[in-house]
Amino acid sequence: MAETIFMDEAEALNCFVKIGYISELEPAGQFSRWVSNHDILVFRRNGVIRAFSNVCPHFGGPVGYHQMTEGKFTCLWHNLQFDADTGQCLSVTKFKLREYKLMIKDEIIFARLVEA
């Protein structure tokens, strides 16, 4: 489950970058965005907004090209499936999607690109 991070605005601006707006989740419940060399898949599941890398660890295909179905993303290129709750690949267990920490403020979604 995504972690909600509370910090002052100055600290937030140093750590997080804007990746989109809540409104962009409608109507599909997901979108992907390139930000500073990061291809990020943002989605809402069970009311929680989360973000994973959109780059498949298999050969780099777009994990979020297709609509999430029954809690799973299916990569466009070779159909590996990923659990939307964990990012774990269900087809090849050595693969897992990176999750980005998010901060939401005033309907804007920010992600921490640099891993802590």
Selected from 29, 34, 71, 78, the binder of ligand FES by CB under 6 A is: 78
Would you count residue 45 as binding ligand FES (CB under 6 A)? no
Residue type, 4: T
In the shown chain, the binding pattern of residues 50 to 69 toward ligand FES, with x for contact by CB under 6 A and - for none, equals ------x-xxxx--------
Residue type, 50: R
Would you count residue 84 as binding ligand FES (CB under 6 A)? no
Smallest distance, Å, CB 40 to ligand FES?
A: 16
CA distance 24 to 104: 13
Cis omega before residue 57 (within 30°)?
Answer: no
Give the count of beta carbons closer than 10 Å to the beta carbon of residue 67: 11
Point out which residues bind ligand FES (CB under 6 A): 56, 58-61, 75, 77-78, 80
